[in-house]
């Protein structure tokens, strides 16, 4: 959920495409409330008890970005915090540093949209790079510079986030869920799941299947 406070014109916020894309990405990763407002520069950045926040320079002050933290620090979204913090750090560097960008590079934007929109498709960095006309090494470098995380890490996390939803909201067997994760074998899926979340798929289902994460933001619709 994205909200805009104290902004005379929403168009002013949206006129900086890189900022708008970062805010959209943060909202997706946090599944919570992301607030973008204009005002005086914040005295401290990034981590706080209730929210992550940073300020970005603006002609007449600063953009203030606040991402509310989950109410339950042990809840089902806690495992995504490291990637979210890395993105905030990348955002600070790319929008508040000496080499401010106005847009995400087109190839990075297309890759992000593919990985987050269709994570269950089989794909490799080399295959995506070929589609956008870049070498895998260069695309990977640019992707990590903008998002703060590697292509492989974001793809894994997006797949495991989908798997978490299936474990919570469906009665599908774990092997059936694994088969939908881009061609992963059951053993590969289990290893990836533990690496991402810190617990096994079985433990995740036992801990969270009866919990509905309304306190963390909107729950994706299921068909």
Output the pLDDT for position 223: 31
Output the pLDDT for position 218: 40
Structural domains in the chain, CATH included, are 2-96 (no CATH), 105-216 (1.10.10.60)
Instruction: Give this prediction's pTM.
Output: 0.83
In whole angstroms, what is the distance from residue 202 CA to residue 136 CA? Answer: 35
CB atoms within 10 A of CB 153: 17
CB atoms within 10 A of CB 170: 13
Output the pLDDT for position 53: 84
- pLDDT category of residue 74 using cuts at 50, 70 and 90: low
Burial (Cβ within 10 Å: 0-12, 13-18, ≥19) of residue 5: exposed
Output the pLDDT for position 11: 59
CB-CB contact of 109 with 148 (8 Å): no
Average pLDDT score over residue span 62-91: 84
Instruction: Render pLDDT for 141-186 as a digit per residue (tens, 0 to 9).
Output: 999 999 999 999 999 999 999 999 999 988 899 999 999 999 899 9
Output the pLDDT for position 112: 98
Residue 58 has pLDDT above 90, yes or no: no
CB-CB contact of 2 with 36 (8 Å): yes
């Amino acid at each position: 959920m994205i909200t805009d406070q104290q902004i005379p014109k929403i168009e002013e916020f949206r006129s900086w495409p890189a900022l708008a894309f970062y805010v959209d990405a943060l909202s997706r990763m946090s599944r919570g409330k992301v607030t973008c407002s204009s005002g005086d520069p914040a005295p401290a950045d990034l981590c706080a008890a209730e929210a992550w926040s940073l300020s970005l320079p603006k002609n007449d002050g600063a953009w203030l970005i606040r991402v509310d933290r989950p109410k339950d620090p042990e809840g089902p979204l806690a495992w995504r915090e490291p990637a979210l913090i890395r993105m905030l750090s990348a955002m600070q560097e790319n929008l508040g540093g000496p080499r401010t960008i106005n847009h995400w590079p087109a190839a990075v934007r297309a890759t992000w949209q593919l990985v987050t929109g269709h994570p269950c498709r089989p794909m490799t960095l080399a295959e995506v790079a070929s589609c956008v006309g870049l070498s895998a090494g260069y695309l990977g470098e640019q992707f990590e510079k903008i998002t703060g995380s590697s292509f492989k890490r974001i793809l894994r996390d997006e797949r495991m986030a989908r798997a978490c939803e299936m474990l919570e909201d469906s009665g599908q067997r774990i092997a059936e869920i694994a088969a939908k994760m881009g061609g992963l074998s059951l053993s590969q899926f289990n290893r990836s799941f533990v690496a991402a979340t810190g617990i096994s798929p079985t433990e995740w289902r036992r801990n969270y299947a009866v919990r509905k994460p309304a306190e963390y933001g909107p729950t994706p619709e299921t068909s």
